Every structure is written in C-alpha cells, then in structure tokens.
Amino acid sequence: MGRGDKRTAKGKRSKRSHGNTRPAGGKVAAPAAGVKAKKTAKKA
C-alpha cells in the first residue's frame, strides 16, 4: 500500500481524488483503533 493504492488516503492524495478515506470537506478521521484516549484524574 502506498501512493499507488487508491484505497488509502496517501493514494487518493497522489491521484487528487476524494472518497470515504479522504473526504472532500477535509474532516478529521477518528483516531486509529490502537490509540487510547487519555483518562482524567480520579477523585479520591
């Protein structure tokens, strides 16, 4: 996968196209599945 793969965001950028992977509105995608949100401090 890379610039030649039209299914990835990098490939869509190189082809100058838009779609589900790269929305035309420039919306930020949800964080990757492996990334966890930081937890807030617990109350005592």
Is there a contact between 8 and 21 (Cβ–Cβ < 8 Å)? yes
Is there a contact between 18 and 9 (Cβ–Cβ < 8 Å)? no
pTM here?
Answer: 0.43
pLDDT of residue 5: 84
Is there a contact between 8 and 1 (Cβ–Cβ < 8 Å)? yes
1-44: pLDDT as tens digits: 778 788 888 888 888 888 888 888 866 655 556 656 677 777 77
Residue type, 20: N
pLDDT of residue 32: 59
- CA-to-CA dists, residue 17 to 2, 9, 31, angstroms: 15, 9, 22
